Amino acid sequence: MKNAYPHTRPSVPLTVAITLSLLTGGLLHAGSPEAKIDPAPAEKGPPLPLHQIEGNGGIFSTLSAYLVNPPRNGEPIGRPSLGAAYVDLGHGRSLEALTLTETPWDRLELGYGYNRFNLGDLTQALPVISDEVVQLHNFNARLALLKEREFDQNWLPALTFGVHYKVNTSVDDINRELGGALSNIGIEDNQGVDYTLYATMLFKNLPRPVLVNAGVRATKSAHLGLLGFTDTYSAQFEGSVAGLLADRLILATEYRAKPNGYRPIPGLIKPEDDWWTVDLAYVVNNNFTVALGYGHFGGVLNHDANAAIGITLKNEF
């Protein structure tokens, strides 16, 4: 695997420096009066960046300014990418995600993420809750404002702006079954919109290439929206660092600040804490990537989740 990102594409690999190899052969048109050689299309690069759980290009919970699977040379639109994730949060709780992205043009990524959160033993403490799972739908659009090193400026990072519409189809029923308890602590709505701005830069003058992603998110979400949404926006920092351990092995760590905009309920709903994870990803081939992660999530509803283990999968077509 080669190790240099294309400088002009925001969708180059998230955590590895890889050069796309070009097919050198041409196609001879036998029926033409004159022999004509068409340039062969560029070979597909590795399936990076990964899918994060809300349906964007990124790692696990944070994003990258690089977009996913953009159009290849000569193609009118990009091809879709599918992903899945499972995280064990302990005490019978789990978070599952199904993700889909499509990058129809070089600077636009569209994404969808379905999140299913199992409430675990919270339903035993609150038997009035009839459904054991919470469902969250994430609809994303991200625009690459700048490509990395665009305009021949080597200091210039990739810069991407995102809009993320979220709908929780479970929280209204839970709030009603709890007699309005969620409304009383500041959970005001079942839907909200996050806004993100991310910068990404690959540092190649190190023994191994290192990728740095840094961003800010304006959000009203409580636990990503799994608990619903408050009525006040706050700006939160997010970021990650990823390095290449071997040709196909990537180590990344990420941090996501959380707003904690609601009032906790002692014994039932803990304050919201910041998240950090450590992730090890393996590029199986130029279509498929698998990653294992360890997460420290702090209070998640009625228990801490500081030793969470998860797996994410992603395939590009």
Interval 202-258: pLDDT, tens: 999 999 999 999 999 999 999 999 999 999 999 999 999 999 999 899 999 999 999
Contacts of 32 (CB under 8 A, 6+ apart): none
Categorize the per-residue pLDDT at 44 as very low, low, confident or very high, splitting at 50, 70 and 90: confident
More confident residue, 27 or 88: 88
Write down the pLDDT at residue 42: 58
Dist. CA 204–CA 227, nearest whole Å:
41
Q: Could you tell me which of 53, 23, 61 has the C-alpha nearest to residue 40?
A: 23
Contacts of 277 (CB under 8 A, 6+ apart): 59, 60, 61, 253, 254, 293, 294, 295, 296
**What predicted TM-score, i.e. pTM, was given to this entire model?**
0.86
Domains and CATH numbers, the chain: 41-316 (2.40.160.40)
CB atoms within 10 A of CB 207: 7
Dist. CA 316–CA 47, nearest whole Å:
6
Q: Are the C-beta atoms of residues 277 and 242 closer than 8 Å to each other?
A: no
Write down the pLDDT at residue 45: 79
Write down the pLDDT at residue 6: 39
Interval 272-312: pLDDT, tens: 999 999 999 999 999 999 999 999 999 999 999 999 999 99
